[in-house]
Amino acid sequence: MQSIRATIRTLDRAIAEATESHPYAPLFATMPRIGKVNLGQIIGEIGPILERAQTCEQFIAEAGVVPVTRASGKSHTVAFRFATNRRARVALTTFADNSRHGSDWAAKIYNDARARKKRHPHAIRILARSWLRVIWACWRDGTCYDPAIHQANNKIKMPAEEPMPA
């Protein structure tokens, strides 16, 4: 058991060292509760998708967190995509689940989805789609994630609009 733990520690150190030298690491390392191993997973799985995607929506679809609508006659179903890059989806949903504990913006998106009676996995995929839009903006602009710049945390602090008098 001790040799297995030592091997795991060695692999964790190797992942951390390889991740630090990657050009995408500074872009995503400041995201809330991403961690070293999950950062390596995000860079390894989401990075190639980022490079080949033409639009943000294509990026989200290839990451596997977009719903798929099937309609035939009178039946209509909405499910998530099964035939996709599973490792990318797992890395992304793991990050999204962790981020809701470290970001008020992420927690609000998750809690709003749960308030709309979405189950936990569905709410996490909704949050993951939101994070992919932020990741796309960071990559496109070449800027590190910063809640002040990307205005993610400011969106939840805006006062509710009051109805106009009739």
| Encoded tokens for 157 | 């602090």
Tell the residue number behind the tokens 């520690």, with chain if given. 9
Is it the case that residue 157 has pLDDT exceeding 50?
Answer: no
Give this prediction's pTM: 0.77
List, for residues 51-107, the tens digit of each pLDDT value: 888 998 888 888 888 877 777 777 767 666 666 778 888 999 999 999 999 888 899
pLDDT score for 80: 63
pLDDT computed for residue 83 by the predictor: 66
The pLDDT value given to residue 81: 64
Instruction: Compute the distance between CA of residue 102 and CA of residue 150 in angstroms, rounded to an integer.
Output: 16
Q: How many residues are given for the chain?
A: 166
Torsion angles phi and psi, residue 132, rounded to 5: -65, -35
